[in-house]
Amino acid sequence: MSTAYPIHLSSAKPAVNGWKASAAVYPGDQSATIYLEADEAENLRKIQRAGRQLDGLSIHSVALSGSDWDQERQWAFARGYMDTLSKNTIDWAAHDAAAVEHLQQLLDTTVWARELVNLPPNAIYPESLAERVIEKLTAVGQNNIHCRVIKGDELLKEGWTGIHTVGRASIKPPLMLIVDYNPTGQADAPTQAVLVGKGITFDSGGYSIKSSEGMVSMKCDMAGAATVAGALALAIQQGLNERVQLVLCCAENLIDGHAYKLGDIITYKNGMTVEIVNTDAEGRLVLADGLQYAGETGAPLIIDAATLTGAAQVAVGNEYNALFSVDDQQANRALALAAETNELLWRLPLQQWHKKNCPSPFADTANSRPQKGGGTGGASNAAGFLLNFAPRNGEGWLHFDIAGAYHASANGLNPAGATALGIRTISRLLRSQ
């Protein structure tokens, strides 16, 4: 017999002493009840808050009871209930095996991605990140997964100068991880999509060094890599039957005598030259390599994810991710799928002329503007920099600046640390072409 604490949903007016309308959940001796309202969006937030509250009460095993628990409500509860370090368990309310399997796959993948981001930087560095991603994707994709690691000076031999430049000061060598998922059985099958992830496993800011308080959570700067890897893992588990590649651009952005400096100029594989005016604008430098690789595959859909700018977080807060694209059809598809999966996503401005918004008198472009935060429109200007490297002038390209990827401290909706926000949306994008 299960000893899990039952959680009920009710649309009835509560008849309990001490209940407040603002309360997310009413916990009793034998079970707890969440009282629903008319607005379903608010219900989902309330259910997520209830999960946080019950975790805070050290209730470590729950059973979601009753017929009112649809998939989105169950997932909202799980998002709040699964704390950073806890091993809480949930008995799902789904009434068929397929629904339970779907929710458990989503939970397991999300927990894996969050743990990857939350691990300390002495445990997660470029090679260990690549190893963990290879292990996870091989477990779910088995013989359909083929991996390649390009590391250290091999990056220069193959033309991936951005990743090498950013990571060369660390004793942990930078690398590009390429994962090819091909379930078709045909070696020459076309690649339908490429996922590109920013894998900066620690970001000191380089010579544009961050403050101590600004640096303390910079283990999360590889959350883009964890997000796209998690999205691919989830898509595979839920039936992805097309060829998709994953490219992770991995480095530690540190300082020593080999570190890149302000005023340096990088020449990329496509011949574009970039002047460094801010070594803390390093994510776009590594993603430029990943986008060029993606272009070489000919894939019609390219998605990148990165904790790229503080400006995006200023614009949309830390409960949303920001979306950039010059492809209206793909952007609208992403927004629609995000709405279906209840992942908050907001489109910010990007036009072709944003490519020229970081001018340099010495190179084709600079990697930022020499102003705090990159100046006004910093998130759009960063996306504009990437647009220089996206194939087909940005057709088929989506850029997720994942402002909601990490919370330095807990709040009423989320535990401290990674959120994995964006995994469901990107996974759906792969499976709905």
Active site residues: 210, 284
Alpha-carbon distance of 277 to 280, in angstroms, equals 9
Is residue 88 packed enough to be buried (19+ CB in 10 Å), middle (13-18) or exposed (0-12)?
middle
- Angle (nearest 5°) at CA 77 between 66 and 121: 150
Are 33 and 10 within 8 A, CB to CB? yes
